[in-house]
Amino acid sequence: MEGRFETFTVLINRISRNIRKIKNQEMADYRLRSAHISCLYYLYLAPGLTVTELSERCEEDKATVSRALEYLEENGYLTGGDPGARRYKSPLRLTEKGAEVAGKIAGKIDRVLNEVSVELTEEERVEFYRCLTLISNRLDILSQRDHEEENP
């Protein structure tokens, strides 16, 4: 199958770029970036996540998430939880302002997901996500194996 690499990488890159573009366009009024949006969204879905849990859900390293959370806290979108607790283990909560914006983000995400899957049947959508998960898991295994081979 000629062109598989090009097709696969180009399409994945286009999807990723368009997701970032939509996130940035929609949140420009709030002066938020992609990492901020992910943090707000996941805290909206699961209030009380810790930095570690949020990093796992966002698939971002703790440093990136910590910077995003610092910005969000400084700008009134969330509170850092228990003042005496260690930062990474402290549950995070959205403020009223944060919950309002996160609700708008969640609504936009729902609309985009509905729009992009309008031409798919429910079975096709389920199969697509199943295949995407298999590909992602396999790439994780391959990248880990390659890393281990390079750094024994």
CA distance 28 to 69: 17
- Exposure string over 106-126, b if 16+ CB within 10 A, otherwise e: eebbeeeeeeeeeeeeeeeee
pLDDT at 61: 85
pLDDT value, residue 1 = 53
- Residue 138: the pLDDT is 93
* Burial (CB count <10 Å: 0-12, 13-18, 19+), residue 95: middle
According to the model, what pLDDT value does residue 23 have?
79
- How far apart CA 84 and CA 107 sit, in angstroms, is 34
**What distance, in Å, lies between the first and last C-alpha atoms of the chain?**
34
- Is the pTM of the predicted complex or chain greater than 0.85? no
- Read off the pLDDT of residues 104-127 as tens digits, 9 standing for 90 and up: 989 988 999 999 999 999 999 999
pLDDT, tens digit, 9 for 90 and up, residues 124-150: 999 999 999 999 999 989 988 866 666
